[in-house]
Amino acid sequence: MRIYIFKSETRKGLQAFAGDLTGSRLPQQLGPWTATGAVGPEKAPPHKFSRDAIEQAIDTKGFQLWRLAKKAEAQA
């Protein structure tokens, strides 16, 4: 599965993984959403996130939201 990465334009630091390039199942109340990248089927997701957990969330809800902790942001 190709995983698409999005960022919210209204919620600072809020990002999401989705299963389609348009992010059609992302929560509208947290958008608008902008696509920022993609993770190929054989690649690891960023920040050592679990691909299995992301794919399961996409299969059940259509997306997975995420936000980096303050400490991780400071190191980036």
CATH top-level class of 3-75: alpha beta
The residues with which 8 forms a beta bridge, in sequence order, are 33
Residue 76 predicted with pLDDT over 90: no
Which residue type sits at 49? F
Q: Amino acid identity of 50? A: S
Angstrom distances, CA of residue 38 to CA of 18, 29, 71, 75: 9, 23, 24, 22
In whole angstroms, how large is the CA radius of gyration of the chain? 12
- Average pLDDT score over the chain: 93
State pLDDT tens for residues 12-48.
Answer: 999 999 999 999 999 999 999 999 999 999 999 999 9
**What are the boundaries of each domain within the chain?**
3-75
pLDDT (mean) for 51-70: 94
